[in-house]
Structure formats: C-alpha cells, structure tokens
Structure 1
C-alpha cells in the first residue's frame, strides 16, 4: 500500500509518500480500505517531536494519523462476518496509522457511517465532531446565551456555531480575514468579524449594544482570547479547549474578575463516554443539524496539508483522500 511516513521529526517536508507493507488485522481487529483520513493540529506538533496531550512517537518511522473512514475489507480472528464490506469510521486512539491506503483498528472502535454522510464528513465528525460534543456539555447554551467563538471558520468552530444557533444562542464568530468571516456568517453566526482588524472588539461591543457575552468557546488563546474574554460580563464563562495562538496554558493572563475559566483536557468527557460523544456527533450530522466543513487534500500532499493547517490557510476539517 501507499502511505505517508515520518522518518525524522521536523518540518512538514519530513512527511514522505512511499510504498509500505500492508497492515495485518489481529484478533478482534478489522482492516479498512481508507477513503478519508483526518488531519489534526496535534498531528503537526507530533510531527515536530513536541509533547502535548499525546506523547511524541517513540519509534520512527511511523505513519501519522488517528482518524479514518472507509470500507472494511479484511477481518481478524473473532470478528463477525457482518462487518465485511461495511462503510465505517473510527478514531484510532493512541495508535497512529491513518495516513495510508489501509488501516487496522479494533472492531470495538468502528462505527457504521450513516448513509447520508460521505467518508470525509464522517471523519470530521468522529474526531472534530466528538470534540465539539464534549465542549458543549460545559457551555450552557440556550436562548439567553451570547457565545463568542474564536476560529469560527475552523473544523470545531464551524460545528460550535451551528450547535449554538440550534440551541437558540446569539452567536458571534471570529475568523482570520474577510473571506473566512463571510463563511462564518453564511454558516449561521449572528455576527461574524475579522479578528485581524484591530477594531474588532469595539465593533462587537457596538453590535451588542451594552449586552455582555456569556461564554467564550476558545481554541485559540493569545491576544484574540484576551480580547474575547474582556467581552464577558459577571458570571461569564471562558471555556478553553486549545491554544493555537499560545499563552493559555498558564491561564493567569486571561483571568478576569467575575469570569470563570475552565480548561478542558484532550478527553472532554463529563457524563458521557468518548464512544457516546462519537455517536452523538454522527447522529447530529446524519439528522442534518450539524454539517461539517471539510477541506480535502490528496494523501500524497500530506505535507501541503500540514503547511496549510499551521499557517491558518484552511477552512473546516482537513482531510486526506488516497
């Protein structure tokens, strides 16, 4: 099979497209002919050898990627024949191997893909979608909520905008550049602003007419988060699930009197298991309540996908297609 392999930590150019041996499913496993593989910002950190929510790979070369969708084409010992030929999606957990034409995973990890979802959409919901479902558990979204969502044109942000609107909240989406802001507005935000405009906080305050924000759903950190948190009123919530612009891990620069800050871990479970969050995400997409935005790259161009993701030139979930 063809796959992307990482032989040494470093820049995106370290990702190479090459021929490797087909993986063999073990007992209780299935082999999937991959039609779509998810790319996560965490993948770029692991490629550089950085430690984060997951440790860097301990052995190289490795095939990156932890989200796949495709068709089951081979079964390991003990797996029911009914899985053969099914359209499935799976998060591979701590085991990499997604950037490839074939991937192996435990049958307990797979979900059958709803008929009205394509493979790339299913990949978006199994990773990004489950994260969004985890975040909203803490947000108390409803008709009285005013939600500020930085990076609202990204994979998670797109889903958070839709979910908050479905819950009746007033939604303010922040995005980098007028084109992305226009996408956020088209995606349902009540107000979409370009955070590259230094006057954006004043524009939001003027639009709100004195009404404070109640929650910031923050996967960005940095100065954008600082300005967003300043929009919150007493009793507001700053929910942190990422820090792509840096600075949020220490927390203290973002603490504002009367505002609670909650930093979520990589597994955002509350009263629901990871599998339950995955099922919820797929069900929301199948019902048409959530529609993931997807940006597709050929598998062979994984390095370009990493470049685009790190330089914020992507919209929605980044997916590789063999």
Structure 2
C-alpha cells in the first residue's frame, strides 16, 4: 500500500509518500480500505517532535493520522463476518496509522457510517464532531443565548456555529479575512466580523444593541479571546478548549478549561468517548450539523499540514488516497 511516513521530526516536508507493507488485522481488529483520513492540528505538533498530550512523541518511523473512514475489507480473528464490506469510520486513539491506503483498528472503536454521509464528512464528525459535542454540553443554549465563536470557519468552529444557531442562539463569528467571514455567515453567524479590524468589538456591541454575550467558545486565545471575553455580561461563560494562537487567555473565576478529559467526565457512562462520537454522527445524519471539508490527495499531506499551520484552510482537513 501507499502511506505517508515520517522518519525525522521537523517541518511538513519531512512527510514522505512511500510504498510500505500492508498491515494485518490482529484478533478483534478489522482492516479498512481508507477513503478519507482526517488531519488534526495535533498531527502537526507531533510531526514537529513535540509530545502534545502524549507521554512522549511517537517512535519513528511512523505513519501519522488518527481518524479514518472507508470500507472494511479484512477481518481479524474473532470479528463477526457482518462487518465485512461495511462503510465505517473510526478514531484510532493515540495509535497512528491513518495517512495510508489501509488502516487497522480494534473493532470496538468502529462506527457504521449513516447512509447520507460521505467518508470525508464521517471523518470530520468522528474527531472534530465529537469535540464539538464535548464542548456544547457545558452550556445550555437557547433563544436568549448570545454565543461568540472565534475561528468560526475552521472544522470545529463551523460545527459550533451551526449547533448554536440551530439551538436558537444569536451567534457572533469572529473570523480572519473576508472569505472566512462569509463562511461563518453562511453557517448561521449573525453578525460575523473580521478580527483584523481593530474596531470589531465595538461593531458587535452596536449590532447587539447593548445585549451582552452569554458564552464564548474559545479555542484561539490571545488578543481575540481577550476582546471576546470583554463582550460577556454578568454570569457569562468563557469555555476554553485550546489556544491556536499560541497564547492561552483566561480570567480567574470566569474561564473554564473544557479540554478532552473534562469533556469525557462530563459525558459520563461506561464509554464516554464513544457516546460523544455517536452523538456527533447522529447530529450529522439528521442534518443539524453539516461539516465543512477541505480535501487534499494523500500524496500531498505535506501541503495539507502547511495549509493548516498557516491558517489557510477552512473546515476539516481530509486526505483522500
């Protein structure tokens, strides 16, 4: 099979398209003919040699990627034959191997793809979608809510805008550049503003007629988060799930970090991660969430990483063999 391999930590050009041996499914595993592989910002962190949330960086050489969708084409020992030929999606956890034409995964991580979703959309929901479901569970949204979403044109921001708008909230999208502002508006943000305009907070206040924001969904941090938090009224929520700007921003007594482990504890149940994945796929199957996707050929994984790191993407970045 063909796969993307990383032999040395460093820049995106260290990702190489190679021919490698096919993986074999072990007991309790299936092998998927990959039709779409998700690219996550964490992938770029690991590629650079940082460990992110892992105890240590992955051993080299490695095939990056932790989100795949495709068709089951081989079964390991003990796996029911009914899985063969099914359209499935899976998050591989912290085990890499997604940037490839074939991927092996434990069958208990797999979800059958609802019939109305394509492979790329399913990949977007299994990782980014489950994160969106993890975030929104911390806030009760309704017609009286005023929600601020920085980076509303990204894979996660798009889903947060759609979810809040569907709940009846007023959604403020804070994007970077006219194209992303237009995309936020199309997904339900009204108003959507350009954060490169230094007067954007004043324009939002004027548009809202003095209504304060009630929630800030913040994965950006830095000056944008600082200005967004300034829009909150008494009792408002600043929910922090990342800081893509490289600069965390929090206010003591106001800001709450809702990173991965906190999300799963909130979801509860015997398998909270799977619960969030199922919710995300169900939202997409019902049409309440429509993930935006930016597609790259598998062989151009380095270009996908560069585009993601320089914020030249909208929606979820996906590789297609």
* TM-score in terms of structure 1 length: 0.96
Contact 1:149 1:172 in 2 (8 A): yes
1:50 CA drift (Å): 1.0
Q: Which position in structure 2 is the counterpart of 1:260?
A: 254
Query: Match of 2:267, SS?
Result: coil
Unaligned runs of 5+ in 1: none
1:131-280 map, 5 Å: 131-248=131-248, 251=249, 254-255=250-251, 260-267=254-261, 268-269=263-264, 270-272=266-268, 273-280=272-279
Q: Which position in structure 2 is the counterpart of 1:107?
A: 107
Contact 2:267 2:275 in 1 (8 A): no
Query: Match of 2:127, SS?
Result: helix
Query: Match of 1:202, SS?
Result: helix
For each residue in 1:253-297, what CA deviation from the matched residue of structure 2 results, as whole angstroms up to 9, or x when unmatched?
Answer: x317xx621112224221341101100100110011110000000
1:58 CA drift (Å): 3.7
* TM-score in terms of structure 2 length: 0.96
2-structure distance, mates of 1:51, 1:214: 35
Cα–Cα, structure 1 residues 316 and 58, in superposed 2: closer, same or farther, change >3 Å?
closer
Q: Which position in structure 1 is the counterpart of 2:72?
A: 72
1:56 CA drift (Å): 4.4
Q: Which position in structure 2 is the counterpart of 1:39?
A: 39
Contact 1:295 1:317 in 2 (8 A): yes
2-structure distance, mates of 1:123, 1:296: 12
1:246 CA drift (Å): 1.8
For each residue in 1:200-254, what CA deviation from the matched residue of structure 2 results, as whole angstroms up to 9, or x when unmatched?
Answer: 1111111111111011000101111111111111111100011100221xx5xx3
Paired residues, number: 316
Structure 1 residue ranges (4+ consecutive) displaced by more than 4 angstroms after TM superposition: none
Compare 261-270 and 228-237 and name the one that shifted more: 261-270
Contact 1:46 1:55 in 2 (8 A): no
Q: Which position in structure 1 is the counterpart of 2:311?
A: 312
Query: Match of 2:103, SS?
Result: strand
1:112-127 map, 5 Å: 112-127=112-127
2-structure distance, mates of 1:89, 1:125: 9
Contact 2:6 2:63 in 1 (8 A): yes
1:41 CA drift (Å): 0.4
2-structure distance, mates of 1:34, 1:55: 28
Contact 2:298 2:319 in 1 (8 A): yes
1:57 CA drift (Å): 3.1
For each residue in 1:71-101, what CA deviation from the matched residue of structure 2 results, as whole angstroms up to 9, or x when unmatched?
Answer: 0000000000000000000000010000000
Correspondence 1:287 to 2:281: no
Unaligned runs of 5+ in 2: none
The CA RMSD over aligned residues, in Å, is: 1.1
Contact 1:46 1:56 in 2 (8 A): no
2-structure distance, mates of 1:55, 1:155: 26
1-structure distance, mates of 2:72, 2:49: 32
1:189 CA drift (Å): 1.0
Q: Which position in structure 1 is the counterpart of 2:60?
A: 60
1-structure distance, mates of 2:20, 2:256: 43
For each residue in 1:150-201, what CA deviation from the matched residue of structure 2 results, as whole angstroms up to 9, or x when unmatched?
Answer: 0000001000011001111110011110111011101111211111111111
